[in-house]
């Protein structure tokens, strides 16, 4: 025969178990969230670099060759949010305007420090012939 209240004694042994498990998992959950956010920033930086390169190449085709680098760089940098800094280069080869955009990937917060590597976006467009 079982004593009265044995169930309460068994349940009392597990008091606080959920709290202990949650505290043990909290660092792992936070690290996972930080890494996911950093990957989002990395992907967004790739998207920004590609879009800025597209716009720079398009703008480079619409101006004479002597003004191309300035118009190309200006169009590419206008597409970037203030928190992302980078450089835009345009080259003309055989009637084809190629734009390259290099951006730093921010660490956790856009506008803060960046990783020591760059994300590069490339685009090209056929040079418009003006008669």
Whether the predicted model's global pTM rises above the 0.85 cut: no
Give burial (CB, 10 Å; 0-12/13-18/19+) of 77: middle
The pLDDT tens digits of the residues spanning 38-80 come to 999 889 989 999 999 998 888 888 777 777 778 888 888 888 8
Residue 120 placed within a domain? yes
Report residue 131's pLDDT band, with 50, 70 and 90 as the boundaries: very low
Could you tell me the residue range of the domain that residue 77 belongs to? 6-126
Total domains present in the chain? 1
Strands 96-106 and 86-93: antiparallel
Q: Tell me the sheet residues that pair with 96.
A: 93, 126
Residue 131 placed within a domain? no
- Contact between 65 and 128 (Cβ < 8 Å): no
In the predicted model, what is the mean pLDDT of residues 75-100? 84
Residue 1 placed within a domain? no
């Amino acid at each position: 025969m079982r004593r009265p209240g044995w169930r309460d004694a068994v349940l009392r042994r597990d008091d606080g178990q959920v709290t202990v498990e949650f505290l043990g998992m909290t660092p792992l959950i936070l690290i996972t969230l930080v890494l996911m956010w950093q990957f989002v920033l990395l992907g967004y930086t790739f998207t920004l670099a590609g879009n800025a390169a597209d716009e720079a190449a398009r703008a480079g085709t619409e101006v004479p060759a002597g003004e191309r680098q300035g118009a190309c760089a200006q169009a590419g940098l206008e597409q970037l949010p203030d928190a992302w800094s980078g450089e835009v280069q345009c080259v003309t080869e055989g009637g084809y305007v190629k734009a390259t955009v290099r951006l730093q990937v921010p660490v956790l917060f856009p506008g803060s420090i960046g990783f020591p590597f760059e994300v590069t976006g490339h685009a090209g467009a056929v040079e418009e012939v003006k008669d």
